[in-house]
Amino acid sequence: MSTEYLKSAADASLEIPQDVTDSVRDIVDTVRERGDEGVRELTRKFDGVEREALRVSDEEIDAAAESLTDAERRAIDNTVENVREFHEEQFSHLDGFEREFGEGITLGTRLVPVERAGVYVPGGRKPLVAAPAMTIVPATVVGVDTVVACAPPQSDGSVQAAQLYAMDRAGADEIYVAGGAQAVASMAYGTKTIPSVDEITGPGNVYVIEAKRQVFGHVGIDFLAGPTEVLIIADETADPALVATDLLAQAEHDPRSRAILVATDRDIAEATVDEVHEQLPDLHTEEVAGECWEENGEVILADDLDAAAAVANDYAPEHLQVMTDEPRGLLEDLHNYGSLFLGHHAPVVFGDKAVGTNHTLPTLEVAKYSGGINVTTYLKMLTHQELTTEGADDIAPWAAKICEIEGTHAHQISAEKRIRSEESRGLARSLDLEPGGGVDLEGEREEER
């Protein structure tokens, strides 16, 4: 198997420039030290907006809904409900367990939601209307007590109406006007107005990403993600016009987005490149999409589908489209991706906007070790154990011996004090356990003398 790079791009990276790191550290410190007033000052500085109330009122939410057309509200409601249905089904297939692993030894797990989740809803070049459903709905499905949402202001100080309506419909309990790194810092450390949360999720620009990195540890985060990506595997049955359209759909997000074609047919690859150049002038987003394709577009010619799958697994893209004659034939071979789109008629736009799967996904090879936002993002898998006197007696010699090896003396005594039967004393002797003070291996328990 081999591959030929017809058009290559520079390697992408999640490394954050030092000036961004330093700037974000100053923003986080400002919010931690000055709270609400720090957020207002940063909003004036970065957004050019003066706003006294940081929390969005019910009246503002109602006004946003009224400002939308019936068709706009129906479209947003459809996305929210599709996302809810998918994640409810996803949640229904998760469960904890409890069983006896030995006589008197019961072990298990419980799936427990975090109590307070904070989601960031980005503004940016185009306020993403589907974004609130992707971060808020999974949290509500699993039973998070309070979902706090932050979004940047428009020039008049309000949140973009469609986004605000979507946040409300998705189930946000509290919505605040705060953008960028200051929003992340506010949710991480809390201010007089904006409550602190246990976990922060949601996409954003490089400042948001860096802020999430800096507050991680104090709170949980979903993952760090860069600009969007799409990798399309195409064989000789693919339509170059559709392939080009789907590449450009991701290219229009950001000049730093990545659009990658892995083709098994040279004619399809070359025709797709021609189509990209033909379609670009007709796009309202030609400037952004064109710069992205020029700087970050890639075309790779693979010998066969096995080689194409190997390339895809190496790239571990955010979105992976399989536009082949039998797309399901590659399903078992593909394992590094944020979300998989099978067939000529499953473009990324459906997953991004309406079908119900989540569009908040890992980029820049993060898919090699993490998936996107899902119901487990807001769940903690907690373990528990319950032991009877007999169960404790059975396991105690083994635990005590491990403690002896480690030199954790108090732990050893804690284990030894559960040794009761002659059988367990015999086991301890067979393990060459030197008593730490919790048990007399030759006779009765020391505390019972």
Quick one: 203 and 332 in the same domain? no
Tokens of 333: 């071979």
Residue 75 within a domain:
yes
Query: Which is catalytic among the residues 253, 319, 344, 359?
Result: 319
Nearest CA to 369 out of 340, 333, 335, 341 is that of: 335
Domain hosting 424: range is 388-448
Per residue in 77-101, pLDDT (tens digit) is: 999 999 999 999 999 999 999 999 9
End-of-domain residue from the set 341, 371, 401? 371
Quick one: 204 and 231 in the same domain? no
Distance CA 285, CA 251 (A): 9
Unique residue bearing structure tokens 């904890």: 96
**CATH code (residue 67):** 3.40.50.1980
Active site residue 319: yes
Q: Is residue 61 a contact partner of residue 169, using CB atoms and an 8 Å limit?
A: no
Residue 382 within a domain:
no
Quick one: 78 and 213 in the same domain? yes
Quick one: 139 and 251 in the same domain? no
pLDDT tens for the chain, 449 residues: list them. 567 777 667 666 667 889 999 999 999 999 999 999 999 999 999 999 999 999 999 999 999 999 999 999 999 999 999 999 999 999 999 999 999 999 999 999 999 999 999 999 998 666 789 999 999 999 999 999 999 999 999 999 999 999 999 999 999 999 999 999 999 999 999 999 999 999 999 999 999 999 999 999 999 999 998 889 999 999 999 999 999 999 999 999 989 999 999 999 999 999 999 999 999 999 999 999 999 999 999 999 999 999 999 999 999 999 999 999 999 999 999 999 999 999 999 999 999 999 999 999 999 899 999 999 999 999 999 999 999 999 999 999 999 999 999 999 999 999 999 999 999 999 999 999 998 888 888 765 444 44
Would you mind telling me the total number of residues written for the chain in this entry?
A: 449
Q: Is residue 159 a contact partner of residue 187, using CB atoms and an 8 Å limit?
A: no
Quick one: 298 and 367 in the same domain? yes
Per residue in 435-444, pLDDT (tens digit) is: 888 888 876 5
Quick one: 136 and 208 in the same domain? yes
- What separation in angstroms does the CA of 249 have from each of 85, 108, 284? 26, 46, 12
Quick one: 302 and 438 in the same domain? no
Q: What pLDDT score does 339 carry?
A: 96
Residue 5 within a domain:
no
Quick one: 126 and 37 in the same domain? yes
Rg (CA), the chain: 27
Quick one: 121 and 178 in the same domain? yes
Q: Is the pTM of this model over 0.85?
A: yes
Distance CA 350, CA 348 (A): 5
Say how many C-beta atoms besides its own lie within 10 A of residue 108's C-beta: 15
Quick one: 33 and 149 in the same domain? yes
**Neighbouring residues of 253: CB distance < 8 A, sequence distance ≥ 6:** 125, 227, 228, 288, 292
Q: What pLDDT score does 266 carry?
A: 96
Quick one: 104 and 62 in the same domain? yes
End-of-domain residue from the set 172, 190, 222? 222
Q: What pLDDT score does 439 carry?
A: 82
Residue 36 within a domain:
yes
Domain count of the chain? 3
Quick one: 50 and 126 in the same domain? yes
End-of-domain residue from the set 205, 222, 239? 222
Query: Which is catalytic among the residues 60, 199, 318, 416?
Result: 318
Residue 116 within a domain:
yes
The number of helices, as runs of H, and strands, as runs of E, in the chain is 15, 14
